[in-house]
């Protein structure tokens, strides 16, 4: 009977290397990340990112408009919120941008309505 070509027929010979080597197990005190179990420390829990309050205010005021006064505040709050988000690493970039866009849309509609009111002839 023939021996397979990848096996050594002599007993006690070392095993040939595997095609898929198994990495050595890492001791628990050397593990890192969310699953590390260091004795004496509570398990790691990621805190949820905080949403910037100015971004929420910009978004709400951008939707509300409030006779275009809200649009001015939406622009101001939106630009301040984006600066704070960059500095602090908070969430809410999309809401701040939406507040800015809605604020500019409101001012565009205000300008358009003023232009139409000026160019339209007065009724007799």
What is the mean pLDDT of each successive set of 10 residues along the chain, which is 124 residues long?
57 62 55 56 69 96 86 96 95 96 94 92 77
Question: What pTM was computed for the model?
Answer: 0.60
Cβ contacts of 103 within 8 Å, gap of 6 or more? 58, 61, 62, 71, 72, 74, 75, 78
**Separation between Cα atoms, residue 13 and residue 7, nearest integer Å:** 9
**Separation between Cα atoms, residue 61 and residue 72, nearest integer Å:** 9
């Amino acid at each position: 009977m023939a021996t397979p070509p990848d096996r050594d027929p002599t007993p006690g010979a070392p095993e040939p290397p595997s095609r898929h080597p198994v990495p050595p197990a890492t001791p628990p005190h050397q593990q890192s990340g969310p699953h590390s179990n260091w004795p004496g420390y509570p398990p790691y829990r990621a805190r949820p990112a905080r949403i910037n309050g100015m971004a929420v205010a910009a978004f709400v005021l951008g939707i509300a408009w409030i006779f275009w006064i809200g649009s001015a505040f939406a622009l101001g709050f939106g630009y301040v919120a984006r600066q704070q988000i960059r500095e602090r690493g908070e969430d809410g970039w999309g809401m701040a941008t939406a507040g800015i866009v809605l604020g500019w849309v409101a001012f565009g509609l205000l300008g358009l309505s003023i232009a139409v009111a000026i160019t339209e002839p007065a009724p007799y």
